[in-house]
Chain A
């Protein structure tokens, strides 16, 4: 399995192996038809391989794009903060008394941080682990500028949310019937199946349109979770109908529009420049 790792796009090249019909003489291996797949997610060609005796796998690999939507991280600045003072003097901050939490929003990278008076900070909204670190350091820098003795301590990624869209729709009722122990499907409560896996630790929400959202402690876990679930779900895959295709393409177009904005930001700063800039300050 190859992994082509972009900054936030993880293309998952999944090699499928086909098997012979059992005849032994001639095996016709046909890839399930994809219909008109316009998106770059699948670069599948029509595949008709006629083999003489032994089953051999060679298939063009269906590529499944995993998009990381949110990375939640937390760290500590190791000093007690006066939220009131921060709220008055800080920029882009908002203090909510009832929770005792100060919210600071950053423009680049577009993230939101919740700051507690104990000095603990939770940062959400980033789209990669690197970006989360940069955001965290920027927040710490902002606090440092307001005359606090800060350290950047215990930075850890708490949660990663990734989504992916499989090239086929899924029959979720038989799927959830087969995996009673791990899957929980309550149509009245949520339209998707909640599938929890122990190793790698992740929670997947599988929808009948073929979209899957994964919540896991790290980006690698997200990837391995999708790899783990792909063969299980493929069994229950089915073709998308015409209306579903239209709906699907519309959703993809909307998502890609949001993603290009982040790409522009990342072109401005190269990674090493950013890291050096921040390191100088703290």
Chain B
């Protein structure tokens, strides 16, 4: 029998009440870190019962417990359900089924579940990793009961929280990209975004062109030399304030256009516009502002296949 002492409500070693307890899951023990005394015993093992391999094609899952608990759902997703069968034994004399599955989730938790599923679907479409999805879920939960967002549709808040999660992780997605995988309009996502930032009292970093360069360039199949040149052009253009008032996305698109037109991998404004979501007239406008300064904007070690004088003027 292990000796236990209750220091208030928590289990602790009787000789070292302040000592930190090491938990040994396999033996089910809690061991005092100072003297090695086994303090708690028969601690419930929370590891999974069966190891699952991805190449096993077993249709039956021998696990007797469900998946891991989602901490955002307050633990109410523990659900035991009774299998629905069509045998005579499960019906009473009046024809109604004897056993009912009482879903003990409140409607707010239902919306949480729907929203998490929605976020997960959207993230899947643009290949976002689980860290961002988890963060987006956390933001959604945070604003779920707030007074600011009471009347907004849950899809709009889900899209906005996904947008914020991407931004906070340092890999921002443009509003148009989130719009493409969501059913909500850009305006609504923008509104919800502002409300969530206000409600959670946080600040988001400003977007800059270089956050999007690698993604846009790889979608356009441009080599890294072009990508590096475009990043350089965009940064210099912003530092020299050649393009005041233009969105960083438009500057990025124009920079990619300029860099690609100077090599053999040319891309038209329309192609770049399709990938970045910027209208091709906007690219044209920004390019017109940047063209006169082309000499300064290009990096020093850039290999020109097309010289600067021969770059298109618009």
Q: A and B from one assembly?
A: yes
A-to-B contact residues, CB < 8 Å: 169, 171-173, 176-177, 180, 184-189, 191, 207-209, 238
B residues near A180, Cβ cutoff 8 Å: 203
B263 located at the interface, meaning its Cβ lies under 8 Å from any Cβ of chain A in the complex? no
Q: Does B190 contact A (CB under 8 A)?
A: yes
6 residue pairs of the A-B complex, CB under 8 angstroms, read A173-B238, A188-B174, A188-B175, A188-B247, A207-B245, A238-B241
Alpha-carbon gap, A180 to B194, bound state (A): 14
Given A177-B206, A185-B206, A187-B207, check contact A171 B190 (CB 8 Å): no
Q: Which residues of B contact A188 (CB under 8 A)?
A: 174-176, 190, 207, 247, 249
Q: Mark B228-265, 1 if CB is under 8 A from A, else 0.
A: 00000000001001001111110000000000000000
**Which B residues fall within an 8 A CB radius of A?**
174-176, 190, 193-194, 203, 206-207, 238, 241, 244-249
A187 touching B244, Cβ below 8 Å: no
A191: chain B residues within 8 A (beta carbon):
245, 247
**B207 lies within 8 A of A189 (CB):** no
Main secondary structure of the interface of A (DSSP, over half): loop
Query: Using Cβ atoms and an 8 Å threshold, which residues of chain A touch B203?
Result: 180
Q: Point out the residues of chain A lying under 8 angstroms from B194, CB to CB.
A: 184, 186
Whether the Cβ atoms of B190 and A186 lie closer than 8 Å is yes
Residue of B190, B241, B245 ringed by the most chain A CB atoms within 10 A = B245
- Which residues of chain B come closer than 8 Å to A172, judged between CB atoms? 244-245
Which residues from chain A contact B248 at a C-beta distance below 8 Å? Answer: 187
- Chain B residue contacts of A207, Cβ below 8 A: 245
Considering only CB atoms, which chain B residue lies closest to A238 in the complex?
Answer: B241
Given A173-B206, A180-B203, A189–B244 Cβ distance below 8 Å?
no
How near does chain A come to B272, taking the closest CB pair, in angstroms?
A: 17
Q: By the criterion CB–CB under 8 Å, are B241 and A171 in contact? A: yes
Q: Shortest distance in angstroms between A176's beta carbon and chain B's nearest beta carbon?
A: 8
B245/A208 in contact, CB under 8 A: yes
Task: Tell whether, in the assembled complex, residue A169 and residue B207 are in contact, meaning their CB atoms are under 8 Å apart.
Answer: no
User: Given A173-B206, A177-B206, A180-B203, is A187 in contact with B247 using a C-beta cutoff of 8 Å?
Assistant: yes
Measured CB to CB, the closest approach of chain A to B110, in angstroms, equals 31
Whether B190 lies near A208 (C-beta < 8 A) is no
Q: Which residue of A lies closest to B191 (CB)?
A: A189
Closest to A189 in B: B190
In the bound complex, what is the Cα–Cα distance between A176 and B246 (angstroms)? 15
Q: Which residues of B contact A169 (CB under 8 A)?
A: 244
In the docked arrangement, what's the CA distance between A188 and B207, Å? 9
Query: Which residues from chain B contact A189 at a C-beta distance below 8 Å?
Result: 175, 190
Contacts of B246 in A (CB 8 A): 187
Knowing that A187-B207, A188-B247, A207-B245 touch, tell me 6 more A-B residue pairs with CB under 8 angstroms. Answer: A177-B206, A185-B206, A186-B193, A187-B247, A188-B207, A208-B244
Q: Which residue of B lies closest to A172 (CB)?
A: B245
Q: With CB as the reference atom, state the residue of chain B lying closest to A169.
A: B244
Least distance between B246 CB and chain A CB atoms (Å): 8
